Structure 1
Amino acid sequence: MKGLLWILLLGGAWAALSGVVSGTQLAVGMAIGLGVLVFLGGAGTDYLRKARQVAAFAVFFLVELVKANLRVTRDVLSPKPPIAPGVVGIPLDLEGDGPIALFAVVMTLTPGTLALDVSEDRKTLYVHGMWVRDAEAFRREQKEGFERRVKELVE
């Protein structure tokens, strides 16, 4: 928490000293502050690691989003779409409402999957998928894809 406070203070100082207080100047100042903290002793390395994880998650999500959109587009335009809808229960390794909600939301945002419900004990997420030819393969794809990355992000 101390490192975050320093980053915010250095970002604010940069924005104030630049003469233009704006979101862009604040972001530049925070980036410079993070660099200074890392250079001076590694106080900001946790934030740098977390920023890399968030960026990697965003790239993964965007790639999955594009792939899913292309697949749905292909199916919509084909005369005999190769869909195999089904509902699958995915056992959760995630703990807590926040990480489970994040997993459900990012999965639902990709076309072709829809999080339906979470069991009362928060151990299973029920998902509807458009392409569930093999329930175990679908389950493994979700766990190794989104769930693993959400788990890395929240730890």
Structure 2
Amino acid sequence: MTAFAMNVMFAVVWLAVSGSASFINFLFGFLVSALAIGLIREQAEGVSYLRRIARIGSLVALFFKELALSAWKVAVLVTRPKLEVQPGIFAYPLTVDRDFEITLLANLITLTPGTLSVDVSADRKLLYVHAIDCTDVEGTCRDIANGFERKIMEAFR
């Protein structure tokens, strides 16, 4: 059973024991059980549930930061009097190898303005990305590797 499923189950048990089925009471039970699961997993030398939640939160925060920055860059790019862009498709070498991680990375890239995930190679080693401006492909690959891909590996491994 995953830690999240166990957390939800404990929160439902808390609702039954306390006799109050309100959302606030469920949230309280969820938070207390998350703390308990986090403490138990730490002592059993497993992956910390609370640390994983924090890392997923860090990934979400990075996504919103990148979303704002790239939206600003695209807005500045398209409002210039002379549109000087070099759109193109480049192959991004993947470090992540699990289906979920590849899908998440591709979706995060697609949701970021100015980029679009096009395809994954048959051997799942390359992700083909269309970018509105391919003047610095190495820099873009470095940003993806040090940003989204690193955070995905921290959160889900």
Larger CA deviation: 115-124 vs 9-18: 9-18
Larger CA deviation: 70-79 vs 94-103: 70-79
CA 1:20–1:75 in 2, change beyond 3 Å: closer, same or farther? Answer: farther
For the residue of structure 2 that corresponds to 1:75, the secondary structure is helix
Instruction: Give the structure 2 partner of residue 112 of structure 1.
Output: 114
* Cα offset, 1:111, TM superposition: 0.4
What is the aligned length?
A: 155
> Are 1:75 and 1:81, in contact at CA under 8 Å, matched by a contact in 2?
yes
Instruction: Give the structure 2 partner of residue 94 of structure 1.
Output: 96
Instruction: Give the structure 2 partner of residue 72 of structure 1.
Output: 74
For the residue of structure 2 that corresponds to 1:114, the secondary structure is strand
**Amino acid corresponding to residue 103 of structure 1 in structure 2:** L
CA 1:2–1:59 in 2, change beyond 3 Å: closer, same or farther? Answer: closer
Instruction: Give the structure 2 partner of residue 16 of structure 1.
Output: 16
Q: What's the TM-score once normalised by structure 2's chain length?
A: 0.84
Instruction: Give the structure 1 partner of residue 138 of structure 2.
Output: 136
For the residue of structure 2 that corresponds to 1:89, the secondary structure is strand
Instruction: Give the structure 2 partner of residue 125 of structure 1.
Output: 127
For the residue of structure 1 that corresponds to 2:48, the secondary structure is helix
Once the two structures are aligned, what percentage of the paired residues are identical?
A: 33
Query: Structure 2 unaligned runs (5+)?
Result: none
> Are 1:88 and 1:139, in contact at CA under 8 Å, matched by a contact in 2?
no
* Cα offset, 1:143, TM superposition: 1.5
Larger CA deviation: 99-108 vs 25-34: 25-34
Instruction: Give the structure 2 partner of residue 49 of structure 1.
Output: 51
Query: Structure 1 unaligned runs (5+)?
Result: none
C-alpha RMSD of matched pairs (Å)? 2.4
Matches of 2:150 and 2:82, distance apart in 1: 34
**Greater relative contact order, per chain length (Cα 8 Å cut-off, separation 6+):** 2
* Cα offset, 1:9, TM superposition: 3.9
1:51-86 per-position Cα deviation (integer Å, ceiling 9, x unaligned): 001110010000000111111122222212342212
CA 1:36–1:96 in 2, change beyond 3 Å: closer, same or farther? Answer: closer
**Amino acid corresponding to residue 34 of structure 1 in structure 2:** A
> Are 1:11 and 1:30, in contact at CA under 8 Å, matched by a contact in 2?
yes
Instruction: Give the structure 2 partner of residue 34 of structure 1.
Output: 34
> Are 1:99 and 1:150, in contact at CA under 8 Å, matched by a contact in 2?
yes
Q: What's the TM-score once normalised by structure 1's chain length?
A: 0.85
CA 1:97–1:46 in 2, change beyond 3 Å: closer, same or farther? Answer: same
> Are 2:120 and 2:126, in contact at CA under 8 Å, matched by a contact in 1?
yes
